[in-house]
Structure 1
Amino acid sequence: MKNFQALLAGVKETDQANEYSAHVDATWLQGRTAFGGLSTALIVKAMLEVIPADRQLRSVAVMFVGPVPEGDHRIKLRELRVGGSVTHMQGELLCDGEVAATVSAAFGKNRQSAASLAGPVMPDVVAPDSIQALPYIEGLTPTFTQHFDMRICSGGLPFSQSESADFSLWLRFKETGTADLAALIAIADVPPMPGLNMIKAPGIGSSLSWYLEFPQALSKADMLDWWFCDYRSQAAGNGYFHNYATIWDADGKAVMFSRQVATVFEK
């Protein structure tokens, strides 16, 4: 069983131009595919290998095209444009030659500006240590969740037929090490999507598209640090949920905004 850092360290250049190798371990699957946070993190990791350090990740747009099974895969990068301040880059995760996920990312330098707006204030919530952890149950909960610690603060659990799709939770990795942007991206996709808590079992939820914004540079963090996620649904119907989330770090600083179009299959 490989941990997250081992999988990210496995992203290496191949002998082909603008191409990287990547591996997905069986313990990181969600059904028959790698969970979307890992697929996205692998592509962004390859991008960070070539982007200058003074250009911070500002936004990521992801399309989940097909399954990413266990095994060895390829990442293909394409530089769309390098401007004076912003670099636009595109990446594809290829499985057996087929596109499984695409990422379009913007990396930008800091600019001098007199305008500044504070991010949203983190809600006053119960500390994670006082909340019971969600258990990992082999064969019932998604396989990849064994790598994470999740603690629900508000809202209903998946398949609880809750009246609201909204919920919030604390979450963190179960491994040590430095948490970088790739780790933050993975964390953002760990929670069960809003909507699954409104239906009864059995049912399946799947991300169709995902958009992330990073309002400020990530402070030094550890993989065992807690992150707080407030996840809400803006609208839903005909099997599709339009969701958005804010993630705060352990110091209460908003570090990521997320939007998602997700599908829910009720059986």
Structure 2
Amino acid sequence: MTFDQLLAKWREGQGVNEIPAGWTQGRATFGGLVAAMLYEKMAAHVAADASLRSLTISFVGPVGAEAVDISSTTLRAGRSVTQVEGHIRQGGSVLLAGLASFGKGRNSSIRVETAPAPEFKGPEESEALPYIPGVVPEFTQKFDYRIARGQLPFSGSRDNHLGGWVRFKDGSDQPVTIGHLLALIDAWPPAILPMLKAPAPASSLTWTVEFIEPLPDLTGAHWWQYLADVEQAADGYGVIQARLWDAEGRLVAFTRQTVTVFD
């Protein structure tokens, strides 16, 4: 089942409690997928003219390939901002917790322009991320990757940057949504992995994403640019900040993760 088909089912309330096959990440489900599932549930509480400004996810435990219970609660709905809390449970335990802030636009005298996109080589000139069963997560087969900055995972690199181009392999002509962008951002391996000399488990502990509206009039099948920077790493944890741009260099999202690594 394609990501666009999954989004349609979640919005219709069909199969929303089922984890689809083909999206595993070790013993867990791909974080971008479950984050998108939770976001769709939380967004259903909010007026259409309120944009998602920030989403914080805590990966409490691995979400397995079983039925899940998804719930959300509006904490406060003001004139401009609505705060929503959400949870994904399995077996009665909370495995994913989220806090979303939705806000309506308003006039302001403050405007700060964002930094330009990196100057990457084109996708056709950049190295593809290979799929190696048992080393690379299963869900990565759903995406095309082209590495334009940094090295392959587990290459022992000293470069603390990782990025390039990404898109859905099965993307359709449906307009890109927050759900698509959550998956595209989280599709990339943690930028700490190229620093390792051998395969080792790693996973996100917390993840915050801020979005810039309006979203580009593009689809998930278009190429998107991503660049991550490991800001600090020690004691089995790393702090990674990243950004996502469209192919024309328009900034779409900021993201920050705390990652655990077991090397």
Answer yes or no: same fold by TM over 0.5: yes
- After TM superposition, list the pairs within 5 Å mapping 1:107-186 onto structure 2: 107-177=102-172, 178=174, 179-186=176-183
Structure 2 counterpart of 1:52, from 47, 55, 58: 47
Per mean C-alpha deviation after superposition, the further-off stretch among 66-75 and 76-85 is 66-75
Q: How much identity, in percent, do the aligned residues show?
A: 39
Aligned residue type for 1:29: T
TM-score normalized by the length of structure 1: 0.93
What is the deviation of 1:12?
Answer: 5.9
SS for the counterpart of 1:156 is coil
Aligned to 1:104: 99
Aligned to 1:225: 222
Quick one: distance in 1 between partners of 2:35 and 2:256?
14
What is the deviation of 1:71?
Answer: 2.7
Quick one: distance in 2 between partners of 1:26 and 1:141?
16
SS for the counterpart of 1:10 is helix
Alpha-carbon contact 2:11-2:40 (below 8 Å) kept: no
Aligned to 2:248: 251
Give the unaligned 5+ runs of structure 2. Answer: none
Aligned to 2:37: 42
Alpha-carbon contact 1:166-1:231 (below 8 Å) kept: yes
Quick one: distance in 2 between partners of 1:131 and 1:139?
24
SS for the counterpart of 2:62 is coil
What is the deviation of 1:137?
Answer: 2.7
Quick one: distance in 2 between partners of 1:139 and 1:236?
25
CA RMSD of aligned residues (A): 1.5
Aligned to 1:17: none
TM-score normalized by the length of structure 2: 0.94
Alpha-carbon contact 2:201-2:262 (below 8 Å) kept: yes
Q: Deviations over 1:73-120 (max 9, x none)?
A: 121001000001000001101112211101100000001012211111
Quick one: distance in 2 between partners of 1:52 and 1:165?
40
Aligned to 2:203: 206
Aligned residue type for 1:261: T
Alpha-carbon contact 1:180-1:221 (below 8 Å) kept: no
Aligned to 2:10: 11
Per mean C-alpha deviation after superposition, the further-off stretch among 163-172 and 3-12 is 3-12
What is the deviation of 1:13?
Answer: 7.6
Per mean C-alpha deviation after superposition, the further-off stretch among 175-184 and 29-38 is 175-184
Alpha-carbon contact 1:10-1:23 (below 8 Å) kept: no
Alpha-carbon contact 2:160-2:191 (below 8 Å) kept: yes
Quick one: distance in 1 between partners of 2:63 and 2:163?
28
Choose between structure 1 and 2: higher strand proportion.
1
Aligned to 2:22: 27
Alpha-carbon contact 2:4-2:171 (below 8 Å) kept: no
Alpha-carbon contact 1:196-1:204 (below 8 Å) kept: no
Aligned to 2:262: 265
